[in-house]
Structure 1
Amino acid sequence: MHTFFAPDLDGPTYTLPEDESKHAVRVLRLSTGDAVELLDGRGGRYQAAVADANPKRCQLRITGHETVPPRPYFTHVAVAPTKNLDRMEWFVEKAVEVGVERISFLRCARSERRALKLERLEKIAVSAMKQSGQAWLPQLDELTDFAAFVATVAPATTFIAHLEEGERTALTQVVGTGPGCCVLIGPEGDFTPQEIALAQEKGIRPVTLGASRLRTETAALAVVFTAQLQRPQA
């Protein structure tokens, strides 16, 4: 069954945007009566049928609805985007497929990417949500300076993954407890000692993801996998 994203669904019918209508009718060859699925990204999963197979305004009739509750453990990854945006696109796609609730983007002292447009990443997140059958679309945050970001998080459930010497707890030992976690992943040159010190001053604890030196996007995805495996199940 084909799935469509309907963030503004409200009422017994829904009209697909023109680009989606064209895709549904001309590419997918949907016709009147065909069954489809709609996701609103807020836990709503709708069954629908094509009421009018118009390639400019394809209208769907809602035939059923269920609400999927949020997952019991909230996973938040804050990551410094890589210079090569393809690698961030890959991370967003896979993180949504595995199961993440929020992704924030950090501007750090050693960041090679100083600006970021979310539009493309948001489209990738929507596509991954539909492909993986998720009912909730993760929140994607605008690029934020490191110092400003760490001032906003709850230190008890926030951790910083870095490669500097010093005592660090394995991430597997701290995720899965409490209501959720936020893990900070630095740029390709790692966080600076000053950034690490600032995080620890805020009460953010250092963690390790293992013995290997991981690429930024790999480390961020490792966090999502670890949280998915360790988090309590509904």
Structure 2
Amino acid sequence: MQLFFHENIQEPSFHLDTEESKHLIKVLRRQQGDKVNFTDGKGCLFECTIIDANPQKAVLQVTQRLYTPDDDYYIHLAISPTKNSERMEWMVEKLTEIGVHEITFMESEYSERSKLKLDRLQKKVIAACKQSLKTRVPKINPVTPMEDLVKDKKFDSYQRFIAYVDKENDQHLFEKIEKDRAYIILIGPEGDFSQQELQLAFDFMFHPCSLGKSRLRSETAGVAAVHTVQLKNNLTNL
């Protein structure tokens, strides 16, 4: 199945803008009467039929709508952006494929970057959703100071973790996760968190966790953390 994205799908029919119409009709050579699948990124899968194969303004009719329920758990990754923007793009792509629900880029003491092209990252996320056949687009938040994140009361009901490298911090995230919860996991920059930042997180009930014995790049740590939470929640024998 090939999946397309359109944010504002209205029933019984809707039209595409010029860019999307050209891609569907000219590039992919879809014709009137062809069946195509769309998502609005909000959990719905729409089975559609092309009723006007206009490369400037293609019109589609919705023939069936299927809804994907929310997961029983929620993964929020807060991570310091790396200096290399391509690595951040790779990360959000892989996080989307694995199954993250929300990403916040976090400004910490040793952060390497404070500005991001969120529109470009959003396009990467949508492309990854289409590739991995996901009907929910993860939320991408702008750069936020670490202090604001850890003090935010909306996380009071979350399991809160901070991942960092230390020989005394040897309990793996997998061992600490409770299934079917909301989680927020903090991942620091290449220089890791400062001692003051660690203490701040501890003061607000963030629990230390390890992602293994290896020292990981920030974006690798983010992918490892989200995969770990997905693995724990989807193993049926735990």
Q: When the two structures are superposed, what TM-score results if normalisation uses the length of structure 1?
A: 0.95
Superimposed CA distance per residue, residues 69-118 of structure 1 (whole angstroms, 9 cap, x where no aligned partner) = 01112111111010001001001101111111111110111011011121
- Partner of residue 127, structure 2: 127
Which of 218, 221, 227 pairs up with 2:223?
221
Q: Is the 8 A contact 1:73 1:176 kept in 2?
A: no
| 2:41 is aligned with 1:41 | yes
Counterpart-to-counterpart distance in 1, 2:136 and 2:225 = 19
Letter in 2 for 1:222: A
Deviates more, 1:67-76 or 1:78-87: 67-76
Which of 176, 184, 187 pairs up with 2:186?
184
- Partner of residue 137, structure 1: 137
Q: Is the 8 A contact 2:46 2:64 kept in 1?
A: yes
Identity of aligned residues (%): 39
Counterpart-to-counterpart distance in 1, 2:178 and 2:39 = 27
Which of 194, 202, 206 pairs up with 1:204?
206
Superimposed CA distance per residue, residues 159-192 of structure 1 (whole angstroms, 9 cap, x where no aligned partner) = 0001245445310112243512111000011011
Superimposed CA distance per residue, residues 120-168 of structure 1 (whole angstroms, 9 cap, x where no aligned partner) = 0100000100110111111111110111111113375110001245445
Q: CA deviation at 1:231?
A: 0.8
Letter in 2 for 1:191: F
RMSD (CA atoms): 1.5
- Partner of residue 151, structure 1: 151
Letter in 1 for 2:159: T
| 2:171 is aligned with 1:169 | yes
Deviates more, 1:160-169 or 1:49-58: 160-169
- Partner of residue 197, structure 2: 195
Q: Structure 1 residues 164 and 74, CA, compared in 2 at 3 Å: closer, same or farther?
A: same
DSSP 3-state at the match of 1:231: helix
Counterpart-to-counterpart distance in 1, 2:186 and 2:217 = 14
DSSP 3-state at the match of 1:144: strand
Q: When the two structures are superposed, what TM-score results if normalisation uses the length of structure 2?
A: 0.94
Superimposed CA distance per residue, residues 40-70 of structure 1 (whole angstroms, 9 cap, x where no aligned partner) = 1111000001111111101111111110001
Counterpart-to-counterpart distance in 2, 1:166 and 1:151 = 25
- Partner of residue 57, structure 1: 57
Q: Is the 8 A contact 1:2 1:37 kept in 2?
A: yes
Letter in 2 for 1:95: L
Q: Is the 8 A contact 2:2 2:130 kept in 1?
A: no
DSSP 3-state at the match of 1:121: helix
How many residues are treated as equivalent by the alignment? 234
Q: Is the 8 A contact 2:35 2:48 kept in 1?
A: yes
